[in-house]
Each structure stands twice: as C-alpha cells, then as structure tokens.
Chain A
Amino acid sequence: MENNLSLSKGKINSRKIAERVIFIFLRLVAVFVLGILGIILYFIFSEGFSVLSIGFLTEMPKEGMTEGGIFPAIVGTGYLVFFSMLFALPVGVCAGIYLQDYAKQGFLVKLIRLATNNLAGVPSIVFGLFGMAFFVHFLGFGASVLAGSLTLSLVVLPVIIRTTEEAVKTVPREIREASLALGATKWQTTYKIVLPYAFSGILTGSILSVGRVAGETAPILFTCAAYFLPRLPNSIFNEVMALPYHLYVISTSGTQIEKSRPLAYGTALVILMIVALTNLIAVILRNKFKIKQ
C-alpha cells in the first residue's frame, strides 16, 4: 500500500517536472523570437542613427546616390500616403458601415466579405501587375503618383473596411436605439451617434494603413516609383521617388553599393521610424478607446 502511494507520488512529480521544463522551453521560444526582433531593430538603429541629420532628411541625393539626403523620397512617400488614403478612407469607411449597419445578411454580404478577404490575400506584386495594366496603361495615367496611390489604396482597402467594421460593432445597441426612439432617421443615427463613437477605432485602422502604405514596395515598382529624380514631382501625373523603393535601389542595384550602405541604413531607419510612430499612435489610441468604453 505504502509502496503504491510513493510510486504515484513519484509519477506526479515527474509530470510536474515535465510541465515546468516545457513551460521554460515555451518561454525561451518567445524570448528567442523577441531577440530576433531586437537584433533587427538594434542593427538598423545603431548603424542608421549616425546617418540621421537635418541634411539627410532635407537634401537631394548626390553623387549617384552615394551622398546627400533622401528628401525627394520622403516627399514622394508623403504624396503616396496622402492620395492613397484620400481614395481608400472614404470608400473603406462607407463599406464598413454598410456591412455592419445596413446590409441584410445574405448572398450579397457573403460575396462582399469573400471579395474583401480575397483582396486582403492578393500578393502585393499582383497588385503591382494589375496597377500597371489598368491604371498605367488602360486608363492612361502613366507611371505616376495617381496610378501608384490608386494601386496602394486597393492594398489597404480591406484593412480599413475591417477596422471600421470592428469599430462600428462596438457601438452599444442602446445608444442607437435611443437615437432612433427620439425620431432620428437611420442615417442621422449613423452620422451623429455611431460615427463619433467609432471614430477613434476607425482612426486607429487608418493610421495603421498609413504605416502599411509607407512601407509597401512591390505595388509601386511599376506604377510610380522612379530610380532617381533630380526634382520634386509637380503634379499627380509625375513619377516619384519613394522611401521603400529607394532603400531597395541603393541596397541592391546602385553602382557603388558599399559607398551607399550608410545611406541605406539611414533610409531603413526612417522607414522603421514612420512605421513605429504609426503603430505607437495606434496603440495609444486603442488603449484610450478601450478605457472610454
């Protein structure tokens, strides 16, 4: 009897030990991946930080892009972000509101959701192919800010639709009902009650989309990105330089790759900072939003 008891005790102990070993292992895996993230960020920050200066941000590239700054690429990315959000935001927000508040469940909604999910899964280079065939050639925009931002707006449209849906979903039914009970129409309720309530959620999604647009390369390869331009674009029908494409160019196909390496680190750092900033704002907004609820 005693023997049996000690045996089962031993068994419990070994099971407990196995559990602890496995949990430590899981923790190590998480630390390992965060370590990789740390290494990536450390490399780019440590190498890129010394390059960052007012001059780097505000000067034109010089000497075959081995010296000078990245000003035109920053401006170009700014243009692309602005115009793609200009196109994608109203459409995406309206679509999100429709799907949550107006649509009746059925075939049409299923179709729209299927299309939205698939659009989100289309590889970015396929967007580039489409943009080139449709915006650049078929609509005749040429390789331009317009063609590039329209292509990018398709890339972020599903993100904006989903975040809008999520945000609209969180609006409590009581508030809507109160508004309707006071005699407001559905649109008045949407416009005056639902939208303000969901605003910060929608804003979070849009800011994340800004980060996405600023970092995308494949969709702009053939729709707007220029290898090098000595001046800034003066209309939306001009080609532009853009930060991610600039990083790709100076790190792979420049004539003096070694010489432009510091600039590449600097450019990578600027891209990372834009993305980090957008993510940070999104996280802050999200937390604020949660507290409000």
Chain B
Amino acid sequence: MNRKKIQEILVKNILLVAALSTSLAIGLIVFFLFQQGLGIFNEYPLESESVIVVNENVSVKELSAFEIKEINDKIKTNWNEFEGGTNEPIRFFTDDKIGDDEMLMDVLRENPYSIASVDADEWKEGDKTGLREIPVPKNSLTSLLTGKFWFPTAEPVMQLGILPLLLASFLITFGAILFATPIGVAIAVYLSEVANPKISKLLKPLFEILAGIPSVVFGFFGLVVVVPFVQKLFELPVGETALVGILILSVVSLPTIISVSEDALSSVPHSYREASLSLGATKWETIYRVVVPSAFSGITTGVVLGIGRVIGETMIVLMVTGNAAVIPEGVLHPVRTLTATIAAELGEAPFGGVHFQALFFIGCVLFLITLVINLIADYLISKHTQR
C-alpha cells in the first residue's frame, strides 16, 4: 500500500513536470529572444571597428545614423541643416578614395568642415590634433521602430529602422484577411447551415488538407504559378509582389477561419433557429439575423487566429514577395516582411553582432505581436464559453 502511494506521488510529479514544459519553453524563448534582442539598445549603429570623425571646427554636437546617411547620400550638404551647425558646406570623405586611414585623418585635418568614418584602432593610436570624434547615439526604441530605412550592412553607419518591414507585414496581413474573412465565413456558413450534413462531412477533410499543405509548398506554387500570372496580368517588371503574398496567404489563413467559425456556428443552440423559423423567417434570414450574430465572438476568434497565422508566416513571403526592404508603395511592388527579413539575413549576420541583435529585436517584436493576438483570442474564447 505504501509503495503504491509513493508511486502515485512520483507519477503525479513526473506528469506535472511534463505539463510545465510549455511554460518552461515560453520562459526560455522569452529569455533568449529578449536577451539578444534588447542587447541592441546598448549598441551603436556602427560596426565596432569604426568611428565618425570630424574636423574640430565643425560645431554640430551629435549626428544620428540617419543624418550620417543623409550626408553620405548628399541629401544634406550644409552643416546649417543640422542642430548647432554653421553655414558651411559639408565635405564628406571616404577611405576608399584615399586608401589609408592615417592619410584620411590628415585629409580631415587639412579640410575644415570635413567628416569621415575612420577605423577605430587608427583613431585610438593616431594623432588627434585638430580632429574630434562625433558621437552617434545608441539605437533606441524610436530609432528602430520609426526608422524608414533597413540597410543593416550599410557603410559607414547601419540603418536599422524596421518601419518598412512592419508596414509590409501589416499590409500583407491586412490584405490577406480582407480576402479570407468573407470567403472563410461564407464557407463556414455553407458547411454548418446550408449544405447537406453528408456533403459537409465529405468536404471538411478537404479543407483540412488545405491546412496541412506545408508553407514551403505553397511558396513554391506561388513562385511557379502565381508570380508569373500576376506579372503578366499587370504587365509588371517583376511578378514577386505584395499582391502574390496576399493572395496565397489568404488561402493559407482560410482553414483556420473556416474551422473556428464553423465550430462557433454549429454551437449556436437549435432553439434559436427554431424560434426564428417559427416566426416566419426564411432559412437565410435566420442565418443572417440570428445564427451569425450569436456566433459572432467565435467568428471573430477565427479571424484573430487567422491574423496570427498570417503575420507569422515566413517561407511563403520569403519566396514570393520579392524581398525589397523598402516602405511599401503599393500591393504591386516588392516588399519584405518582418519574418522574411529574419529568414533571409540571420544566416549572414555574425553571431552576437549589431545586425544579429537587430534581427533578434525583430523576433521580439513578432513574439509580442503574436502574444497580443493570442491573448485577444483567449479572451474571446473565454467570453464565448462563459456565455
């Protein structure tokens, strides 16, 4: 008897440990994701081996990564366009014209109002007279979330703004859900209310097949069929566009929307339907005025879960949307989402570097977005079941 009791306790604890595995996994994911991702705020948007140096008569106190890009691209050519700057033209030098960083520093000394990116070791050991290091602020939440450029390997400073990626993800998710919601709900209504139960029993596994097709196969299909089709239809230079992503992802999100909505519709009590029908309403009027409104929170849950499915999708967008990390100009242009950026760049980013951390930061943003989506879905479900 005693041995049995010990065994009972042992078993219960082993099962408990297994049950805690998902909590442990979530904890570890949060820790490792955020450890790398939040590290970005301690880093400068510079490669560790370079500093930005100016001639000492430059009066500007600080330059952001974006401002240095503007100087580099000759968008801003006068120091008075910056805070604290005087009315003098900017002279921007790069070491690829001059060759040697020691010579570059001499050039900076000789040219008033000049600026250049200098090798950090050279700067540490070299002669600093007449020169000044200009501080570049660390990456901040605002610089990352509102920066309009994503050029993580740009010289002399990296542009780590994820706004173009965020907008691309939102555009594709919004577009896909816009298509998928009416279609998905229509099919759910058909399966649950309209179709002969035998037929709907036959059809349901077919929609499950759609859910089972791996995303890489969808991506491949998009690449060989939908991309050329869209390219021809709209006479585009390239077919890999946001539109292809939207079209395919709307199909991918359908099974989620259909199955959750269908569950919600079929759990509406029969008495509701009978009451409506007995008042003389037609079947459609009953569906439209009684059944769908009663199942509304369930249908919303399906749509919310569909959003979660689409925003996290990686392989399809990586393969068919053209991978251009610019602010989307429209659905007929190439874009790159948050997920595709991680997939495309993590392999090339050196471990622990600024670029690597920026990609983990994107992972944190994605994690938080899907967390919020899941919490909303959980809330809707609990509301639904309470009723």
Does B279 have its Cβ within 8 Å of any Cβ on chain A?
no
B221 interface neighbour in A43, A134, A154, A252, Cβ under 8 Å: A43
Task: Decide if A97 touches B15 in the complex (CB within 8 Å).
Answer: yes
Docked Cα-Cα span, A53 to B314, in Å, equals: 31
A215 interface neighbour in B26, B28, B217, B318, Cβ under 8 Å: B217
Given A33-B187, A34-B206, are A123 and B213 neighbors across the interface (CB < 8 Å)?
no
Docked Cα-Cα span, A111 to B19, in Å, equals: 10
With a cutoff of 8 Å between Cβ atoms, the chain B residues found around residue A102 in the complex are: 12, 15-16
Binds B, one of A113-121, A170-178, A197-205, A230-238: A113-121
Task: Decide if A33 touches B254 in the complex (CB within 8 Å).
Answer: yes
Docked Cα-Cα span, A256 to B197, in Å, equals: 50
Task: Decide if A125 touches B312 in the complex (CB within 8 Å).
Answer: yes
With a cutoff of 8 Å between Cβ atoms, the chain A residues found around residue B254 in the complex are: 33
With a cutoff of 8 Å between Cβ atoms, the chain A residues found around residue B20 in the complex are: 112
Docked Cα-Cα span, A90 to B342, in Å, equals: 32
Binds A, one of B61-69, B135-143, B367-375: B367-375
Task: Decide if B28 touches A134 in the complex (CB within 8 Å).
Answer: yes
Task: Decide if B284 touches A19 in the complex (CB within 8 Å).
Answer: yes
Task: Decide if A276 touches B209 in the complex (CB within 8 Å).
Answer: yes
Does B236 have its Cβ within 8 Å of any Cβ on chain A?
no
When C-beta atoms are compared, the residue in chain B nearest to A116 turns out to be: B22
| In the complex, per-residue mask of B354-380: 1 if CB is within 8 Å of any chain A CB, else 0 | 000001100100110011011001100
Shortest beta-carbon distance from B17 to chain A in Å: 8
Given A30-B203, A123-B339, A130-B32, are A279 and B366 neighbors across the interface (CB < 8 Å)?
no
Task: Decide if B22 touches A218 in the complex (CB within 8 Å).
Answer: no
Task: Decide if B19 touches A99 in the complex (CB within 8 Å).
Answer: yes
Task: Decide if B225 touches A43 in the complex (CB within 8 Å).
Answer: yes
Docked Cα-Cα span, A123 to B316, in Å, equals: 13
Does A44 have its Cβ within 8 Å of any Cβ on chain B?
yes
Task: Decide if B216 touches A247 in the complex (CB within 8 Å).
Answer: yes
Binds A, one of B3-11, B41-49, B153-161, B292-300: B3-11
Counting chain A CB atoms within 10 Å of each CB, the highest count among B191, B220, B318, B346 belongs to: B220
User: At the interface, is chain A mostly helix, strand, loop or mixed?
Assistant: helix
When C-beta atoms are compared, the residue in chain A nearest to B315 turns out to be: A217
| In the complex, per-residue mask of A259-273: 1 if CB is within 8 Å of any chain B CB, else 0 | 001001000100110
Shortest beta-carbon distance from B133 to chain A in Å: 33
Q: How large is the interface on B (under 10, 10 to 19, 20 to 34, 35 or more residues)?
A: 35 or more
Docked Cα-Cα span, A268 to B319, in Å, equals: 14
| In the complex, per-residue mask of A118-133: 1 if CB is within 8 Å of any chain B CB, else 0 | 1101111111111011
Given A123-B366, A125-B366, are A95 and B19 neighbors across the interface (CB < 8 Å)?
yes
With a cutoff of 8 Å between Cβ atoms, the chain B residues found around residue A121 in the complex are: 305, 308, 312, 370-371, 373-374, 377
With a cutoff of 8 Å between Cβ atoms, the chain A residues found around residue B207 in the complex are: 33
Task: Decide if A23 touches B284 in the complex (CB within 8 Å).
Answer: yes
| In the complex, per-residue mask of B123-153: 1 if CB is within 8 Å of any chain A CB, else 0 | 0000000000000000000000000000000
Task: Decide if B216 touches A271 in the complex (CB within 8 Å).
Answer: yes
Given A37-B209, A95-B15, A217-B216, are A22 and B342 neighbors across the interface (CB < 8 Å)?
no
Task: Decide if A154 touches B36 in the complex (CB within 8 Å).
Answer: no
Task: Decide if A119 touches B25 in the complex (CB within 8 Å).
Answer: yes
Interface residues of A in 169-217 (CB under 8 A from B): 185-187, 190, 208, 211, 214-217
Task: Decide if A218 touches B183 in the complex (CB within 8 Å).
Answer: no
Does A9 have its Cβ within 8 Å of any Cβ on chain B?
no
With a cutoff of 8 Å between Cβ atoms, the chain B residues found around residue A248 in the complex are: 216, 219-220, 315, 318-319
Does B23 have its Cβ within 8 Å of any Cβ on chain A?
yes
| In the complex, per-residue mask of B314-334: 1 if CB is within 8 Å of any chain A CB, else 0 | 110011000000000000000
Docked Cα-Cα span, A221 to B187, in Å, equals: 35
Interface residues of A in 72-96 (CB under 8 A from B): 90-95
Does B282 have its Cβ within 8 Å of any Cβ on chain A?
yes
B282 interface neighbour in A19, A222, A244, A275, Cβ under 8 Å: A19
With a cutoff of 8 Å between Cβ atoms, the chain A residues found around residue B318 in the complex are: 248
Does A281 have its Cβ within 8 Å of any Cβ on chain B?
no
Docked Cα-Cα span, A134 to B311, in Å, equals: 24
Docked Cα-Cα span, A33 to B251, in Å, equals: 8
Does B223 have its Cβ within 8 Å of any Cβ on chain A?
yes
Does B178 have its Cβ within 8 Å of any Cβ on chain A?
no
Docked Cα-Cα span, A97 to B213, in Å, equals: 29
Docked Cα-Cα span, A98 to B11, in Å, equals: 10
| In the complex, per-residue mask of B194-211: 1 if CB is within 8 Å of any chain A CB, else 0 | 110000000101111110
With a cutoff of 8 Å between Cβ atoms, the chain A residues found around residue B8 in the complex are: 185-187
Does B89 have its Cβ within 8 Å of any Cβ on chain A?
no
Q: Given A29-B187, A214-B214, A252-B319, 11 other A-B contacts at CB below 8 A? A: A25-B186, A94-B19, A121-B305, A123-B314, A123-B370, A125-B314, A133-B33, A248-B319, A268-B217, A268-B220, A271-B217
CB<8 Å pairs between A and B, sample of 9:
A15-B285, A29-B190, A95-B19, A123-B311, A133-B36, A133-B360, A215-B212, A247-B216, A264-B220
Q: What 8 pairs across the A-B complex have the smallest Cβ distances?
A: A215-B214, A123-B312, A94-B18, A98-B15, A19-B284, A115-B23, A98-B19, A95-B19
